[in-house]
């Protein structure tokens, strides 16, 4: 249900880059708009607040499309539906389509495609980096020229949810994180814009709305220590029905302030 206080807030982060934040009773979540010379890309479809499509049209005259980073309802919500209904191309991993159907129900995904390896917006090349873990179909997007990584929920925003039924085991996730670390070694001055940037400011560093390589390195250290049994999380209750049977633990670091995982999904299932 939409509350009258729900709204979209647009922030120009730099030339040709905008954050569109949904401040709602449901979730504070970010979409991003990147404008090239030929076309524009919207990253994520927000949750319940309508008029993302109108909002983007008011910012740019370029043709635009949307890449949805994963199938959770705060990223693949009403904005994604608006884009599909307006005939805009929407990209989403097939691995997360079931999730969208579970949460959104009536949305027509027949026109949705899997993200290309690289989108050329004209002077702005955006590479798609699959990052299964938080969900199986999670992707991150990397703007090559500006060295900006849009990570959505794939590595969290200080808070990280890996306890979900659709999340990977921590062993599988660690392999993905190490691949990401290798990639980021080529871009040590990367800025990482997550899907819930307010958390960065609230929990990691006041006034800051992005993360950096140190965050990823800490995430790798913490995940390794959990797997090795050197780090054991506190028991955590999250009052959501679909999590009631999950034994959730939570660990806290300097940057990764609230890392939730399922104690029964630390190790990968062994082949019998
Ligand atoms: Zn998510």
- Cβ partners under 8 Å of residue 39, min gap 6: 62, 63, 64, 65, 121, 122
Distance from the alpha carbon of residue 174 to the mean position of ligand 1, in angstroms: 18
Distance from the alpha carbon of residue 201 to the mean position of ligand 1, in angstroms: 19
Cα–Cα distance measured from residue 184 to residue 178, given in angstroms and rounded to the nearest whole number: 10
Beta bridge partners of 8: 22
Question: Has this prediction a pTM greater than 0.85?
Answer: yes
Distance from the alpha carbon of residue 10 to the mean position of ligand 1, in angstroms: 21
pLDDT at 5: 56
Distance from the alpha carbon of residue 134 to the mean position of ligand 1, in angstroms: 7
Distance from the alpha carbon of residue 57 to the mean position of ligand 1, in angstroms: 26
Distance from the alpha carbon of residue 61 to the mean position of ligand 1, in angstroms: 30
Q: What are phi and psi of 216, to 5 degrees?
A: -65, -40
Distance from the alpha carbon of residue 70 to the mean position of ligand 1, in angstroms: 7
Distance from the alpha carbon of residue 74 to the mean position of ligand 1, in angstroms: 7
pLDDT at 272: 52
Distance from the alpha carbon of residue 153 to the mean position of ligand 1, in angstroms: 5
| Mean pLDDT of all residues in 66-77 | 97
Distance from the alpha carbon of residue 72 to the mean position of ligand 1, in angstroms: 5
Distance from the alpha carbon of residue 147 to the mean position of ligand 1, in angstroms: 23
pLDDT at 103: 83
Question: How do residues 213-245 score in pLDDT, each as one tens digit?
Answer: 999 999 999 999 999 999 999 999 999 999 999
Task: Supply 103's token pair.
Answer: 């949460």
Domains and CATH numbers, the chain: 1-154 (3.60.15.10), 156-187+214-263 (no CATH)
pLDDT at 204: 85
User: Which of 66, 59, 52 lies closest to 141, judged by CA?
Assistant: 66
């Amino acid at each position: 249900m939409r509350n009258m206080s729900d709204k979209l807030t647009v922030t120009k982060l730099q030339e040709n880059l905008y954050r569109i934040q949904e401040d709602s009773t449901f979730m504070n979540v970010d979409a991003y708009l990147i404008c090239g010379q030929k076309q524009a890309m919207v990253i994520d479809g927000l949750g319940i607040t309508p008029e993302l499509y109108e909002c983007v049209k008011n910012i740019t005259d370029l043709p635009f499309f949307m890449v949805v980073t994963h199938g959770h309802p705060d990223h693949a919500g009403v904005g994604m539906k608006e884009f599909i209904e307006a005939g805009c191309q929407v990209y989403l991993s097939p691995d997360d389509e079931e999730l969208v159907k579970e949460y959104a129900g009536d949305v027509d995904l027949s026109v949705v495609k899997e993200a290309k390896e690289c989108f050329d917006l004209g002077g702005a090349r955006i590479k798609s980096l699959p990052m299964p873990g938080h969900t199986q179909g999670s992707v991150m997007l990397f703007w090559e020229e500006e060295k900006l990584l849009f990570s959505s929920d794939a590595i969290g925003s200080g808070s990280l949810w890996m306890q979900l039924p659709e999340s990977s085991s921590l062993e599988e996730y660690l392999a993905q994180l190490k691949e990401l670390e290798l990639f980021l070694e080529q871009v040590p001055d990367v800025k990482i814009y997550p899907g819930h940037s307010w958390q960065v400011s609230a929990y990691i560093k006041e006034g800051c709305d992005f993360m950096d390589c140190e965050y990823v390195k800490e995430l790798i250290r913490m995940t390794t220590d959990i797997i090795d049994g050197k780090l054991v999380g506190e028991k955590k209750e999250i009052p959501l029905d679909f999590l009631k049977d999950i034994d959730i633990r939570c660990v806290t670091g300097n940057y990764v302030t609230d890392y939730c995982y399922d104690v029964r999904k630390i190790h990968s299932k062994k082949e019998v």
